[in-house]
Amino acid sequence: MEDRFVYMDYNATTPLRPEVKAEMIADLEVYANASSMHEAGRRARSRIEGARASVAGLIGAKDPERVIFTSGGSESNNTVFATMFHLGRKGPRRGIVTTRIEHPCVLNSAKWLEEEGFPVTFLDVDEYGMVRLDQLRDAVGPGTLLVSIMLANNEIGTVQNLRAAADIVKAAGAWFHTDGTQAVGKIPVDVDALGVDYMTMSCHKLYGPKGIGGLYIREGAPLAPLIRGGHQEQGHRAGTYNNLGILGFGLAAELARAELESYGKKVSALRLRLRDGILASVPKVRVNGHPTSVLPNTLNVSFPGAEGEAILLSLDLEGIRVSTGSACASGSLEPSHVLLATGVGPELAHGSIRFSLGRDTTENDVDYVISKIGPIIARLRSMSTIAF
């Protein structure tokens, strides 16, 4: 076993940036309850509001009050779907439209509403993972309550054309939500340009702490709290403020915004180097996801004749950390629902690896992975009974 360590699983989570870590260690002293009226409480609150402004700045939200803090992407997505449950039970609109390639926290929320009697449509995607806008147009109507389409896919990196979708959704008078968890901090995101009513964010995907995230709520869009209690977060989400997480999120967002362009340039060059290196050293591979409308850090590759878990474990023995799809689905032997939706067959979907790069990835790391992947695939293929 090599003692070299290459982390290429940044879509699963990212390490804390040293600046954020240092800030959070200092922030451990900020213990006052940010709802307390005394001076220490007011000071804690004012720092939280500063962090809110930083997060709002990263997504182009002009009014920071339109952002609330949650425990992460899963909670933000669940909050939107729970809101629709309350609205749909009472109102004339009940239709939910989402896609087949969403993260399980959206898919399972949509399935929950379906079980509760809401009509739910799961939109197909094309071979690149792009939502079919003609299908969206057919699916929405006067009965549609919510359309939820993720901005960027966690497994294949495809970035949707949300602006075009928003025009269709808003013309039908429905609410429009996007799960921006994988996009925020990686590509420019502007809630007004995208035309969304709600957007989900998660801090641990952008070099901040885990257990903290956010939800953008356009003015006028309804929101029912998932957690009821005190008046925190304008009554949208009760519970004592998570000072430490929020301050870490604020700084991570500020740094991500300042470095968005340099980050994008750096990781997309590394991604192309990895893609081309794999294509040159391994025959018969398939690169999944959209060729251009894709996250700069995400490369999903199918290796026919090899099994994903075996590739993952062989790479792990060389100190290379990747994933077979989403970390949330790992442990399950089901082929990726995202790849299946793009038309990749179950066998090929089983032989797929997600390489997700980050701000600490180097050319050396990429070259090391390229040098190891060829022999690993050749060995696994030589033992395989799968024809390819």
In DSSP terms, which residues pair with 234 in a beta bridge?
none
| Site track 66-95 with ligand PLP (rule: CB under 6 A), x = hit | ------xxx---------------------
| 8 A C-beta contact, residue 200 and residue 179 | yes
Residue 200 or 314: the one with the smaller Cβ distance to ligand PLP is 200
For the bound state, the minimum distance from the C-beta of residue 127 to ligand PLP, rounded and expressed in Å, comes to: 20
For the bound state, the minimum distance from the C-beta of residue 71 to ligand PLP, rounded and expressed in Å, comes to: 7
Residue 8 or 376: the one with the smaller Cβ distance to ligand PLP is 8
Q: How many residues line the site for ligand PLP (CB under 6 A)? A: 14
For the bound state, the minimum distance from the C-beta of residue 72 to ligand PLP, rounded and expressed in Å, comes to: 3
Residue 215 or 377: the one with the smaller Cβ distance to ligand PLP is 215
**Binds ligand PLP (CB under 6 A): choice among 179, 197, 233, 365:** 179
Annotated catalytic residue 328: yes
Binding range to ligand PLP, per CB under 6 A, among 24-32, 113-121, 175-183, 329-337 = 175-183
Q: Which of residues 104-133 bind ligand PLP (CB under 6 A)?
A: 105
Residue 147, both tokens: 């359309």
Q: Which of residues 212-231 bind ligand PLP (CB under 6 A)?
A: 213
C-alpha torsion 10→15→18→24, nearest 10: 130
Per CB under 6 A, does 154 bind ligand PLP? yes
Catalytic residue among 30, 279, 328, 386: 328
Please state, in angstroms and rounded to a whole number, the distance separating the CA atoms of residues 147 and 161. 14
For the bound state, the minimum distance from the C-beta of residue 105 to ligand PLP, rounded and expressed in Å, comes to: 5
124 burial type by CB count under 10 A (0-12 exposed, 13-18 middle, 19+ buried): middle
Residue 153 or 232: the one with the smaller Cβ distance to ligand PLP is 153
Please state, in angstroms and rounded to a whole number, the distance separating the CA atoms of residues 61 and 52. 10
Give alpha helix (H) positions in 102-237.
104-115, 133-139, 162-171, 191-194
Please state, in angstroms and rounded to a whole number, the distance separating the CA atoms of residues 237 and 13. 24
Per CB under 6 A, does 182 bind ligand PLP? yes
Residue 314 or 326: the one with the smaller Cβ distance to ligand PLP is 326
For the bound state, the minimum distance from the C-beta of residue 327 to ligand PLP, rounded and expressed in Å, comes to: 6
For the bound state, the minimum distance from the C-beta of residue 124 to ligand PLP, rounded and expressed in Å, comes to: 18
Residue 150 or 344: the one with the smaller Cβ distance to ligand PLP is 150
Q: What region, left, alpha or beta, does residue 227 occupy, with left being phi > 0 and alpha being psi -120 to 50 degrees?
A: beta
Residue 32 or 82: the one with the smaller Cβ distance to ligand PLP is 82
User: From the CB of residue 206, how many other CB atoms can be counted at a distance below 10 Å?
Assistant: 26
> Which secondary structure element, helix H or strand E, spans residue 173, and what is its range?
none
For the bound state, the minimum distance from the C-beta of residue 279 to ligand PLP, rounded and expressed in Å, comes to: 26
**Binds ligand PLP (CB under 6 A): choice among 54, 98, 202, 243:** 202
**Binds ligand PLP (CB under 6 A): choice among 109, 181, 288, 342:** 181
**What is the crossing angle of helices 104-115 and 73-90, to 10°?**
20
Q: Which of residues 292-351 bind ligand PLP (CB under 6 A)?
A: 328
118 burial type by CB count under 10 A (0-12 exposed, 13-18 middle, 19+ buried): buried
For the bound state, the minimum distance from the C-beta of residue 80 to ligand PLP, rounded and expressed in Å, comes to: 12
Residue 46 or 332: the one with the smaller Cβ distance to ligand PLP is 332
| Site track 355-384 with ligand PLP (rule: CB under 6 A), x = hit | ------------------------------
C-alpha torsion 149→150→155→156, nearest 10: 80
Q: 31-58 as b/e, with b when 16 or more CB fall inside 10 Å?
A: ebebeeeeeeeeebbebbeebbbbbbbb
Please state, in angstroms and rounded to a whole number, the distance separating the CA atoms of residues 325 and 80. 25
Binding range to ligand PLP, per CB under 6 A, among 164-172, 179-187, 214-222, 311-319 = 179-187
Proportion of the chain in helix, strand, coil states, percent, rounded to 5? 45, 15, 40
- At 288, the amino acid letter reads N
As annotated, the active-site residues are 328
Positions in the binding site for ligand PLP (CB under 6 A) = 72-74, 103, 105, 150, 154, 179, 181-182, 202, 204, 213, 328
